[in-house]
């Protein structure tokens, strides 16, 4: 029987290992100023897991009248013409985009709030339902009871739908019709503390959303078992629920 939990934890180990290799050279003093390293590290791992029909880049997304702020990672269809491409830097029409990710080296409550706000505003400009995530390699204390961060989640109301604050904390948006939890049947963010699995679950949700967008059907059961190895007991790891309602 495959050990899918160990497989998912190996994703965290891989990301942290690559991160540490970079840190050995630039040390902690410069980690917050590492430029593109944090996005390159995550992009490298994403390319290993995403379907071949998509590509990963960085840049801007344009709709008919607006352009986003610069986005750290853009996942887009390969069969769609781009407005501009130079190496990994792209300017993509919103119709091509399947997912966007705001990447941080380390978050605290303030950075977490700002990251959710930026991802929400970019998602509003793109103007369609896509995977929209905030990914942080490390987390200082993020106070999810803080009213400002709750306001950003409520304001986002599912535009930002997947967040990991370090390798142990994962936030997932559940719409009312999506939730399997009878205790929380309204739109909400569920906060899970899943040791060494937040990175794997974040990537798994991205791959699943991309697969559904491309193929128009659910992922095969074998992949589902691999992507979500604690699916039947996940709610045991829920530590908080943030309902999407007016504050």
Q: Which of 93, 89, 88, 142 is nearest to 115 (CA)?
A: 142
pLDDT of residue 180: 55
Cα–Cα distance between 6 and 18 in angstroms, integer?
Answer: 18
pLDDT of residue 120: 98
The DSSP bridge partners found for residue 58 are 89
The number of distinct structural domains making up the chain is 1
**What range does the domain containing 22 cover?**
4-243
pTM as predicted: 0.92
**Mind listing the pLDDT tens digit of every residue in the chain (247 residues)?**
689 999 999 999 989 888 888 777 776 665 555 556 888 899 999 999 999 999 999 999 999 889 999 999 999 999 999 999 999 999 999 999 999 999 998 889 999 999 999 999 999 999 999 999 999 998 877 888 888 899 999 999 999 999 999 999 999 999 865 555 556 678 999 999 999 999 999 999 999 999 999 999 999 988 888 999 886 677 889 999 999 875 4
pLDDT of residue 246: 53
pLDDT of residue 247: 47
Would you report the helix, strand and coil content of the chain in percent, each value rounded to 5?
Answer: 45, 25, 30
Strand 131-139 vs strand 162-165: parallel, antiparallel, or unpaired?
Answer: parallel
The model's pLDDT over 207-220, given as tens digits with 9 standing for 90+, comes to: 999 999 999 999 99
- CB-based contact 95:132 (threshold 8 Å): no
pLDDT of residue 232: 63
């Amino acid at each position: 029987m495959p050990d899918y939990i160990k497989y998912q934890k190996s994703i965290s180990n891989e990301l942290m290992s690559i991160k540490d290799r970079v840190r050995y050279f630039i040390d902690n003093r410069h980690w917050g100023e590492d430029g593109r390293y944090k996005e390159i590290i995550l992009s490298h791992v994403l390319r290993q897991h995403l379907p071949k029909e998509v590509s990963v880049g960085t840049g801007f997304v344009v709709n008919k009248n607006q352009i986003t702020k610069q986005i750290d990672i853009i996942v887009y269809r390969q069969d769609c013409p781009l407005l501009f491409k130079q190496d990994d830097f792209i300017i993509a029409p919103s119709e091509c985009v399947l997912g966007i990710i705001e990447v941080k080296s380390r978050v605290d409550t303030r950075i977490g709030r700002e990251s959710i706000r930026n991802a929400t505003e970019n998602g509003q400009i793109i103007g369609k339902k896509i995977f929209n995530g905030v990914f942080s390699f490390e987390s200082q204390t993020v106070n999810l009871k803080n009213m400002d961060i709750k306001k950003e989640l409520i304001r986002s109301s599912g535009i930002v739908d997947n967040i990991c604050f370090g390798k142990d904390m994962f936030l997932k948006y559940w719409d009312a019709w999506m939730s399997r939890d009878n205790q929380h049947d309204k739109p909400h963010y569920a906060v899970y503390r899943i040791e060494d699995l937040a990175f794997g679950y974040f990537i798994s949700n991205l791959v699943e959303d991309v697969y559904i967008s491309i193929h128009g059907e659910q992922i095969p059961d074998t992949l589902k078992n691999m992507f979500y190895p604690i699916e039947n007991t996940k709610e045991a790891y829920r530590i908080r629920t943030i309902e999407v309602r007016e504050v």
